[in-house]
Amino acid sequence: MERVNECEVLSHVLGKSLPCQCTAPKITPSPKITPSFIDDESPRGCLIAHTALTLIEVQRVANYFKKPLHRVVKLNKPKESPDMSPDELWNVVLASSLLHDIGKLADQYVERSKVSTRLEHHKLSAIKAYGALSEIFHEYIATVAALAILYHHEALDWRSLESKILAFSYLHETFTLTKSIYYTINKERLEAFRGNLGEALKLLREGGMIEEGQYELLLRALERALQGLSDNRPQKVGEIISVSRAKSTNFIVPAFFLYRVLYLADNRAASARSRYWLDSLRRVTWKDVEVVAEQIHRALTQRRYYIGLSAIPLLKS
């Protein structure tokens, strides 16, 4: 069957196709499927390809953000946190992009049509990313990375602030909610993801898109995160990150910077799923400025298809 767009784009970039369980237009039901998004309650896309494409997009913007990120972290980190070079910090960005959607492996995300409670995958991703990265990096930078992953879905999180009188109510709800995140993981899906993403990382290394040291680091981060997921243990965001840290400038300033890089790379990778922007632009009535503004606002407030305007992929000249 025809492969999904994300797989086709990744195959073009790598010059080689990867084995996976994804087909188009809808993924064939299988315990091994690893969808990257859900559309009309059906699993779509390929999380393996999306994750690899996000890593590639992170590397493409490295020259723009590596040094500024280093300055932001250096100015805001606590004194007890060790210094890191720009290259070391960029490895944190790579590891964050690798794990930013790890929560999508949960049965409650893949089989959304069969469950009554929606899994907020970015919260589960942040929890498991923190567990993995805190074993590799200092606790401070692991917390910063987890916050960036937690915030990387503007469409889901920031819109909720519109209905809140105080921003703190959102933070309180996110970090101290008494309800735990319950999930289960299909072992076949987890193993399929581990094996196929591992193959993608090999090709990224062979193609010079990541260095040998980065390849080894990403494998370690992936293995630790998947081990954390496999325990199926209910957790709360507030058990990992306290609300006081989420409000502290030491943490939130670098987290927002890292979040912005992650958000940009994530959405540029997600644009491989379709011709969304080209098709949307053709529907705009450009003669009337007020109508244009209204149409753009309507497009950006559709939860289902939200992609930030600043995330439109750069065109080659």
Q: What is the pLDDT of residues 94-136, one digit of tens each?
A: 999 999 999 999 999 988 767 767 788 888 999 999 999 999 9
In angstroms, how far is the first alpha carbon of the chain from the final one? Answer: 34
Low-confidence ranges of the chain (pLDDT < 70): 1-3, 21, 23-29, 113, 116, 153-173, 175-178, 274-289, 292, 295-317
The per-residue pLDDT for range 54-84, each reduced to its tens digit, is 999 999 999 999 999 999 999 999 999 999 9
- Structural domains of the chain, with CATH: 47-274 (1.10.3210.30), 276-317 (no CATH)
Q: Count CB-CB contacts under 10 A for residue 209.
A: 19
